[in-house]
Amino acid sequence: MRQTLIAGNWKMNMTTAEAENFADELLKLNPKKNGEVLICPPFTDLYALGKKLAGSGIKLGAQNVFAEDSGAYTGEISPAMLLDLGVEYVIIGHSERRQIFNESNELINKKLLKLQEKNLKPILCIGETLEEREAGREYDLVKSQLSACLKDVNANKLKDLVIAYEPIWAIGTGRSASANDAEAICKFIRQELEKNFGDLAKEIRILYGGSVKPATINDIIAKENIDGALVGGASLKAADFAKLVAYEV
C-alpha cells in the first residue's frame, strides 16, 4: 500500500518572516494529516521553516538541486547542503525549470542519480505542453521524458522515487486536468514503470499537479493510480493547505 503525499511547492514566494507566519498558522489549525505532508519552500526559508516544523511531522523539501557535490558552481546548491538543513525530498524537472532555465532531460537525469547517491528522495516532474496535448502527443512525451530522466536509475532506491505528472497547461492556470484525464496518464506512467522495473514499480508514488485546490483534491486522490498531489498556488495559504492535507476519500 503506497502512502499518499501532499507536497506544497511555494516556488519563488515567501520571505522568511512570511514562511514563519505560515507555519504558525498551519500548526494552529493542526489539520488531520493523511499520509505524508511536505513543504518545498525557497532555499532561503529552509532553515527557519525546519525549526518551526520540527516535531510536527510535516517534512521539508527543496525545489531544485545541482548535480555535483561541491565546487565552482556559482549560485547552485548541493545535496549535502540540503541534507544539512533536514531536507528529505527534492523536486527536479519542474516545467518552470525546463522552460525558463532550459533544463534538459539529460541534466535532470544527472540530478536524479546524484539524489539517489546521497539518499535524498527525488520528485521527478514530467508533463506535456498544451500544444503537445492538442496534437495527441501527451503519452509519447511522457514516455520519452520518463525513459530519459530515469536512465541508469538505481532500482534498489525506486521506493524513494516520486513521479509528479504535471501537464504544463494546468500549472498556475486554474485549468486543472479532470480527475479521469489525470488518472489515465498516471495509469499509463505506472504501466511504463512496470515494463521497466517490474513489481518494484508498484512502490513508486505518482502525484498529479496542476491547479489542485481544496475543492478538487478529494476526486483526484480517490483515483487508483494517483498517490497524492504537488500543489503550487493553493499551498501558499495555510488555511487552503490545511484543507488539502485533510483530504477525504
What's the Rg (C-alpha) of the chain?
17
User: In terms of CB distance, is 200 or 236 closer to ligand PEP?
Assistant: 236
Alpha-carbon distance of 38 to 57, in angstroms, equals 9
Torsion angles phi and psi, residue 39, rounded to 5: -120, 130
In the set 50, 93, 122, 210, which binds ligand PEP (CB under 6 A)? Answer: 210
User: Residue type at 137?
Assistant: R
Alpha-carbon distance of 164 to 178, in angstroms, equals 16
- 232: contact with ligand PEP by CB under 6 A: yes
Cβ–Cβ < 8 Å for 92, 123? yes
Give the DSSP letter of residue 201.
Answer: G
Type and span of the H or E element at 79: helix 79-84
- 214: contact with ligand PEP by CB under 6 A: no
Alpha-carbon distance of 161 to 211, in angstroms, equals 23
User: Strand, helix or coil at 217?
Assistant: helix
In the set 9, 78, 109, 225, which binds ligand PEP (CB under 6 A)? Answer: 9
CB 13 → ligand PEP: shortest distance, Å? Answer: 10
In 3D, which of 51, 53, 37 has the Cα closest to residue 242?
A: 37
Cβ–Cβ < 8 Å for 232, 209? yes
- 127: contact with ligand PEP by CB under 6 A: no
User: In terms of CB distance, is 172 or 198 closer to ligand PEP?
Assistant: 172
Alpha-carbon distance of 226 to 183, in angstroms, equals 6
In the set 23, 87, 212, 226, which binds ligand PEP (CB under 6 A)? Answer: 212
In the set 113, 230, 244, 245, which binds ligand PEP (CB under 6 A)? Answer: 230
Annotation marks residue 134 as catalytic: no
The one catalytic residue in 94, 128, 132, 138 is 94
- 8: contact with ligand PEP by CB under 6 A: no
User: Residue type at 198?
Assistant: G
- 172: contact with ligand PEP by CB under 6 A: yes
User: In terms of CB distance, is 74 or 102 closer to ligand PEP?
Assistant: 102
User: In terms of CB distance, is 66 or 165 closer to ligand PEP?
Assistant: 165
Annotation marks residue 94 as catalytic: yes
Q: Residue 186 CB: number of other CB atoms within 10 A?
A: 24
- 211: contact with ligand PEP by CB under 6 A: yes
- 41: contact with ligand PEP by CB under 6 A: no
User: In terms of CB distance, is 80 or 215 closer to ligand PEP?
Assistant: 215
Which residues contact ligand PEP by CB under 6 A? 9, 11, 166, 171-172, 209-212, 230-234
Enzyme catalytic residues = 94, 166
